[in-house]
Amino acid sequence: MISMIMVLNQKGDIMISRQYRDDVGRAAADSFRLQVVAAKETGTEAPVKRIENCSFLYTRHLNMYFVALTRSNVNPALVFEYLFQLIKILKAYLGEEFDETAMRNNMTLIYELMDETMDFGYPQNCAVDVLRLYINLGTAKPQDEPEPSKLTSQITGAIDWRREGIRHKKNEVYIDVLESVNLLLSSTGNVLRNEVAGSVQMNTKLTGMPECKFGLNDKLVIEKDKEDRKPSVDIDDCTFHRCVRLGKFDADRTITFIPPDGEFELMRYRVTDNINLPFRIIPAVQESQNNTKVSIDLKVIANFSDQLFATHVVIKIPVPKNTSKTKIKHSFGRAKYEPEQQAIVWRVKRFAGKAQCIINAEVDLMPTVRSQPWSRPPINVEFQVPMFTGSGVHVRFLRVYDKSGYHTNRWVRYITKAGSYQIRI
Amino acid sequence: MALGKEGDARFFTTQKKGEMHELRMELHSSDRAIKVDAVKKVIASMTVGKDVSMLFTDVLKCVQTGNIELKKLVYLYLINYAKTQPELTLLAVNTFVKDASDANPLIRALAVRTMGCIRVDRITEYLCEPLSRALRDDDPYVRKTAAVCVAKLYDIAPDLVVERGFLETLHDLISDSNPSVVANGVAALSEIAETSGKDVMRISASVLQKLLAALNECTEWGQVFILDSLSKYTPADGREAEGIIERVTPRLQHANAAVVMSAVKVILSYMELMGSQNSDSIRALTRKLAPPLVTLLNSEPEIQYVALRNINLIVQKRPHILENEIKVFFCKYNDPIYVKMEKLEIIIKLVSEKNIEQVLLELKEYATEVDVDFVRKAVSAIGRCAVKLERAAERCIGVLLDLIQTKVNYVVQESVIVIKDIFRRYPNRYESIIATLCDNLDTLDEPLAKASMIWIIGEYAERIDNADELLDTFLETFEEEDPVVQLQLLTATVKCFLKDPDDTQDMVQRVLDMATEESDNPDLRDRGFIYWRLLSTDPEAAKMVVLGDKPVIEDDTFKLDPALLNVLIGQIATLSSVYHKPPEAFVIRRGAGTGTTNEDDDEEDEDDYEDENDVDGGADLLDMGGLSVNDQSQDDAAPGSRFEPTAPMNLVTGPEKSGGLEVLAGFRQYRNTIRLEMEINNVSANHVVAGLAVQLNKNAFGLSPSTQQVMCEPPAGPGGSGVAVIELVTTPNMLAPVPAGQPANPQVQVAIKNMTSGNVFYFAVNLNFEAIFSSDGAMERSSFIENWKSIDDRNELYATVGDLPSESVDIDLVQQKFQASNVFFIARRPVPNAEGQEVVYFSMRTVTDMEFLAELTFKQGVNACKICLKTENATYGLLAKKALEDLLRA
């Protein structure tokens, strides 16, 4: 199991180190500093590094290294998941962008959290809401603090993600269906990869211990239900928050759960068939014979209903390193050459559905000594389309049952974003 | 949240002089806030590596508080320093015991958790009572903490755990009503099972049902612990296996990748047991496994990496699972390099005639990217596709030729290397492209690419008009080339000569000359000679040898050995599956109980020792080879006199060379002095041997005589004999440097002048290495472990010594014997999983400060011993190993 967790800064100095087993020492930090931090290896070298039979598994947050050390044959996925959870917990306590200073300012809190979430190298309960109940920097008033025995049954209980006795004046559930469309088109226009990675985010404000049942237009469910003729989606695979009863899903594909209070990710899913691509992009990029010019023509078609519109559209068209001058013609938005990105970046705040746009750029190149050919990186597209799902997934129902039988308001939103949306040229 | 400017960072401010005193005052303050701040400052110093152990008692006093925050801080401090201050830690025991029965379950658990972390053996006796209560506590939080604590205790005192019946209690916890307790119980038992090698985690039918039930209820981590323990269980038959798989498959939908991977492991291991009659269910399972594996590739890059390394194994074992999913392994432009590299490996494993078109387009795309290593791997992947798929070979070659046209240096070189492999796989089929290759000769500057090109030229010399000219250009720089290139040049020239003897006679002569006479590379010389003799004796035979058919190669470069693969499939979701190495290769079991029990043994041994010493100290010495040291031996207090090392005397010179003397000489250490002892038999007719002058040549140890004049005692007249003892010291200026990479020469050359006769004679004597082991070479156990781990495995030496004398089979005696030669005992322990085997650790240091660490493995009833020696001074490793062997045999 994990022997030690360290947090190092960019220079490799130890900011936090918590030893869970005594088979590794602080000296190990030195080998990590020398072989990984100093070598600036992150990014090219694997995140699992073995130095003298001590394994270092690490990930980064901003410029800090979160490192787990072990001498045993651990489950590496478990180690990484724990590191991610630890970072998530720290984000919840210290803010999304917590930095070195925040770490130093809250050192004892961090030790307390690390002590509570891991014992002898075995991860323990990492649910932020539960941790907050008893690790609270002394800010909670004593009367708010639950009875210790209640607290412990909460920490260890079967439903450790929700405490009992929650009350809300209004019972509401906000459901966000977020999709990111991944696309990889070859330069000849063939689809190499196309999939939607979706997630269902919930924000529940419900009283008591409500039992929820949730349904999407999942093809496997709808086919069983002959009367329902609505369009359905073939979901390749999905994963669920731990509150969902997996056994039940496996048996009849119903999604049932007692939700945590507040925000959480109910599920993730993956769809690869019949995807509606929000944008079609047709590029034509030509390099002149003598390597002095590149001419780019790009047609962009918004492939969704004209009732909708896309926002934050950014299209990055790569140009060679030795670009000297660009001449760009386009009908709307703003486009300019950004040398630090080595690309022409075209930004459109609002792109109406069914709209089309052509952008044309003439790029002059500086002569270079080395005639290394241009690697022609792919065009990269970013966008957001509200109230649209690339997969066609929609929420069919959310039923909430509670003893008190209250009424629940439900709000559903859909947003499709670009994941890695790339077109090779 | 209280994130004011006044955070903990202020505690990190550097400590000025007197601040310790100030801290101490603050720790004793009656104001709680000041106290808490002071402890925080102490912890801050501890974090940055400052030594604050002197505040131990002061911090300890703060433990008696009702404030849980302060208590946690003090406990944190205690864990860190308990090891260095074991006596003082005992003062905290009362608090622990009191806290362990506090009304607040959080405090009870905290006390048990902390006590378990304090690895001081004396505290364990106090731990047992509270732990035993905690295991039966009403509160599940305390029970789950206690479960892990049993594993902690087992690590320090395994016997105690067994004695107190904690293992049984732990087993009972598997049936606990609380899932978190079950999970930690399983984790603790699994760990104990693994370290002890005993089957303490027996899974019976009822336990199995309980585990499967808990699987649905416990936390994500608990699910991982349970799944991992299930993967070690062997179901009775295919039906049971199927039943368990059915309960496990829903876990594939879990959001936590660790749960998914552990579930995959269970399913894959059990699939083996389902047998072929179940092919339908196996096919159904195969279908079910693919989507979750693909989903893992949408996770964070770190998880992707772990998943890809595992998938690499899975596609080798069960290629069907992902045969239609090759597209998901296509690289995204912004994937980290380490992910791209792994994806590429899997693409090659999944490539088939169906998808080769697509794959080639993809690989060609990668070959234009920026990262050199990735590009090279992509190019080489194209070659591997060609070798793997005969029908696609031509298309692959087409792509490679396109790539060569880009003229990018490293692309061309890598292409040449793989084209050579394609030629070897499909001889006489694609030689038409040789011309294109020859156009790019100038770009080649890497040895491997050059060597490949030269191989091609030699192999197809008859089809290349100017093959001899091409080779000739390479020959100009023959001497500067890398050995790989030289070897290829030699072979290619010989091939060329055999195919066209008339034009290339000069060239082949020149190469053979260079290879055999001017090179100091033995491989090259040997090959040169072989060719030379072949060519000069029987050119026809030479043709058969050099131009003979070569075996066809296959693409097996990255395939794992089936036996290893099976081992690794059982290790899915462990580091082993990431390294593609069995766990033994990187996990060094410290074994249970290297901690305390042995320390006691150690002391006892030493006691025994001295007793023996008193009894027969002087007596044994009388047998010591007739050396004139008896008079000194009475007050000999050196330990282990029973095994007092003697100098191994060897005849070093006869009368003919030394002017009538027969000399036996050998080294030994006596009372911390290294000495060269000589027995001199005077067989001359006239000289007397009395005063001698000594000189040593420079040697690998820096030995030189402390005084040049020694006396032969008693002076030996004609026909008489005497003994001369030369005391030696080590000085750096007498050190003959040992060439790196070569073992040190044990030989010491000695010159002796007989002062009476004026005769000078020379001899050489090998140093028995133990003679220069220093008496202060004993090492702390902890630093031994540190050092042992820090020395690279490459600097490891092995030997097996058989036919040991009976006294060398008894470990206690070996210890004494070794100690007498300054080889110091560190620890011994039984080998887990191997009945009757025991390993013993020793350390030794030479007077020149070279350290050697040794691990000796003995097996009961076998008079042999395995030695494993580790040292940073690799050049002297062999000597040290030999010394140990000799000591054992002596």
Number of domains in chain B: 4
CA distance B126 to chain A (A): 20
The size of the A-B interface in CB pairs under 8 A is: 288
206-245 of B, contacting A, C-beta below 8 A: 216-221, 224-225, 228
Lowest mean pLDDT among A58-62, A63-67, A163-167, A272-276: A163-167
Segment (H or E) for A337 = strand A334-338
Of chain A residues 325-384, which have a CB less than 8 A from chain B? 371-373, 375-378, 380
Host H or E run for residue A196: strand A191-205
Encode pLDDT of B844-879 as tens digits: 888 888 888 888 888 877 778 888 888 888 788 888
A117 burial (CB, 10 Å; 0-12 / 13-18 / 19+) is: buried
Give the span between the Cα atoms of B133 and B124, in whole angstroms.
14
Question: Is the peptide bond between B714 and the residue preceding it cis, with omega within 30 degrees of 0?
Answer: yes
CB B408 to CB A45 under 8 A?
Answer: no
Q: Give the H/E segment covering residue B130.
A: helix B121-135
If asked whether residues A57 and A110 sit together in one domain, one would say yes
Distance from CA of B816 to the nearest CA of A (A): 29
Mutation site, B302, B567, B788, B872, interface A, largest A CB count within 10 A: B302
Residue B619, domain member (yes or no): no
A271 falls in which pLDDT band (50, 70, 90)?
A: very high
Please report the pLDDT score of residue B638 as a whole number: 42
Interface probe, candidates B156, B178, B789, chain A, greatest A C-beta count within 10 A: B789
Q: Are residues B714 and B658 in the same domain?
A: yes
Q: Is residue A166 a part of any domain in this protein?
A: no
Q: Which residues of chain A make contact with B2, given a CB cutoff of 8 A?
A: 137-139
Taking only the tens place, the pLDDT of each residue in B328-337 is 999 988 899 9
d(C-alpha A244, C-alpha A269), whole Å: 14
Residue B784 has pLDDT above 60, yes or no: yes
Give strand ranges (E) for A127-190. 172-185
pLDDT tier at B602 (50, 70, 90 boundaries)? very low
The answer to whether the Cβ–Cβ distance between B250 and A119 falls below 8 Å is no
Same domain, B421 and B496: no
Q: Are residues A260 and A331 in the same domain?
A: no
SS3 at position B884: helix
Residue B494 shares a structural domain with residue B465: yes
How many Å lie between the alpha carbon of B309 and the closest alpha carbon of chain A? 11
The set of long-range contacts for B266-271, using a CB threshold of 8 Å and a minimum separation of 24, is B266/B227, B266/B230, B266/B231, B268/B314, B268/B317, B268/B318, B268/B569, B268/B572, B269/B231, B269/B569, B269/B570, B269/B572, B270/B235, B270/B241, B270/B242, B270/B244, B270/B245, B271/B241, B271/B245, B271/B318
Contact yes or no for B720/B682 (Cβ under 8 A): yes
The label of the residue with tokens 């860190």 reads B80
pLDDT over 90 at A121, yes or no: yes
Same domain, B751 and B662: yes
Q: Give A242 to chain B, closest Cα distance, Å.
A: 7
Q: Give residue B751's domain range.
A: 650-767
Same domain flag for A127 and A254: no
Closest alpha carbon within chain A to B289:
A237
Contact A80 B306 (CB under 8 A): yes
Chain B contact for A142, CB < 8 A?
A: no
**First CA to last CA distance, chain B:** 73
CA distance to partner chain A, nearest, from residue B42 (Å) = 11
Question: Does residue B600 form part of some domain?
Answer: no
Pair of tokens at residue A214: 């949730």
- B364 and B392 co-located in one domain: yes
Chain A residues within an 8 Å CB radius of B576: 73
Number of separate domains in chain A: 3
Amino acid A296: pLDDT: 92
pLDDT at B609: 39
- Answer with the one of B494, B516, B549 that is the final residue of a domain: B549
**B179 belongs to a structural domain:** no
**Which run of H or of E encompasses B710?**
strand B709-716
Instruction: Answer yes or no: are the C-beta atoms of A370 and B408 closer than 8 Å.
Output: no
CB-CB under 8 Å, A250 with B302: no
Segment 193-252 of chain A within 8 Å of chain B by CB = 193, 197, 236-242, 245-247, 249-250
CA distance A206 to chain B (A): 22
Q: A376 and A396: one domain?
A: no
Say whether both A51 and A99 belong to one domain: yes
- Is A192 within 8 Å of B330 when comparing Cβ atoms? yes
Same domain, B857 and B790: yes
The CA distance from A91 to B747, in Å, is: 66
Query: Residue B282's pLDDT band (boundaries 50, 70, 90)?
Result: confident
Burial A298-332 (b: 16+ CB within 10 A, else e): bebbbebeeebbbeebebbbbbbebbeebebebee
Are residues A379 and A407 part of one domain? no
Among residues B658, B720, B652, B665, the alpha carbon closest in space to that of B688 is found at: B720
pLDDT in the model for residue B253: 92
- Tell whether the model's pLDDT for residue B348 goes beyond 50: yes
Assess whether A42 and A145 both reside in one domain: yes
B576 within 8 A of B275, measured Cβ to Cβ: no
Distance CA B526, CA B532 (A): 10
Give the C-alpha separation, B884 to B890, whole Å: 10
Q: Which among A52, A81, A148 is the nearest to B258, CB-wise?
A: A81
The verdict on B301 touching A (C-beta cutoff 8 Å) is yes
Q: Residue B864: give its domain's CATH number.
A: 3.30.310.10
Same domain, A239 and A207: yes
Q: Does residue B815 contact residue B608 with C-beta atoms inside 8 Å?
A: no
In a domain, B606, yes or no: no
Residue B182: HSE in the Cβ half-sphere, 13 Å Cα cutoff: 28
Token output for A63: 């410029």
Using 50, 70 and 90 to split pLDDT, how confident is the model at B603? very low
Q: What is the pLDDT of residues B231-272, one digit of tens each?
A: 988 888 888 888 999 999 999 999 999 999 999 999 998 888
Give the C-alpha separation, B422 to B424, whole Å.
5
- Say if residue A328 is in the same domain as residue A215: no
Which token pair is B770? 């133990």
Q: What is the CA radius of gyration of chain B?
A: 36
Q: Are residues B413 and B495 in the same domain?
A: no
A78 within a domain of the structure (yes/no) = yes
Mean pLDDT of A8-34: 85
| Domain span including residue A305 | 279-386
pLDDT tens-digit readout, B393-427: 999 999 999 999 888 888 999 999 999 889 888 88
Q: Are residues B689 and B786 in the same domain?
A: no
Contact A16 B47 (CB under 8 A): yes
Domain boundary among B490, B516, B549: B549
**pLDDT, average across residues A150-161:** 76
Q: Which residue of chain B has the CA closest to A60? A: B302
CA distance to partner chain A, nearest, from residue B505 (Å): 42
pTM given for the model: 0.74
CA angle B394, B418, B531 (to 5 degrees): 115
pLDDT greater than 70 at residue B503? yes
Task: Show which of residues 491-510 on chain B sit within 8 Å of chain A, judged by CB atoms.
Answer: none
In a domain, A329, yes or no: yes
Nearest to B640 by CA among B668, B616, B624, B667: B616
Mean pLDDT score, A192-212: 92
CA of B215 to nearest chain A CA: how many angstroms apart? 10
Whether B690 is covered by a domain: the verdict is yes
Looking at the structure, do residues A210 and A336 belong to the same domain, yes or no? no
Question: Does residue B829 lie in a domain region?
Answer: yes
In which band, very low, low, confident or very high, does the pLDDT at B590 lie, cut at 50, 70 and 90? low
Q: Pick from B549, B568, B593: which residue ends a domain?
A: B549
Please check whether residues B778 and B885 belong to one and the same domain. Answer: yes
pLDDT beyond 90 at B559:
no
Weakest mean pLDDT among A248-257, B176-185, B752-761? B752-761
Q: Which residue of A has its CA nearest to B368?
A: A375
Q: How far is B594 from chain A (nearest CA, A)?
A: 12
Find the CATH number of the domain harbouring B761.
Answer: 2.60.40.1150
Is residue B520 domain-resident? yes
For the segment B569-591, the average pLDDT, to the nearest whole number, is 85
pLDDT band at B608 (very low <50, low <70, confident <90, very high): very low
- List chain A residues with CB under 8 Å of B12: 104
Interface touch A245/B216, C-beta < 8 Å = yes
| pLDDT score, position A225 | 62
The answer for residues whose C-beta is within 8 angstroms of residue B559's C-beta and 6 or more apart is: B316
The letter for the amino acid at B547 is: L
Chain B interface disruption, residue of A2, A42, A56, A73, most B CBs within 10 A: A73
Where does residue B595 rank: exposed (0-12), middle (13-18), buried (19+ CB within 10 A)? buried
pLDDT at B614: 39
| Closest partner CB to B255 (pick from A77, A241, A249) | A241
Would B151 be classed as within a structural domain? no
The reply to whether residue B328 touches residue A138, judged by beta carbons under 8 angstroms, is: no
Smallest Cβ distance to B327: which of A13, A193, A238?
A193
Is residue A362 assigned to a domain?
Answer: yes
Q: Using CB atoms, pick whichever of B179, B294, B792 lies closest to residue A237.
A: B294
Which range has the worst mean pLDDT, A135-149, B627-641, B732-746? B627-641
| A187 located within any domain | no
Same domain, A101 and A204: no
Q: Which residues of A touch B254 (CB under 8 A)?
A: 239-240, 242, 246
Distance between alpha carbon A331 and the CA centroid of its chain, in Å? 34
Task: Give, for B535, the enclosing helix (H) or strand (E).
Answer: helix B522-537
Question: Does A287 lie in the same domain as A149?
Answer: no
Put simply, whether B187 touches A (Cβ < 8 Å) is: yes
Tell me what pLDDT residue B11 has: 67
| Per-residue pLDDT, B605 | 40
Q: In CATH, what number is assigned to the domain containing residue A94?
A: 3.30.450.60
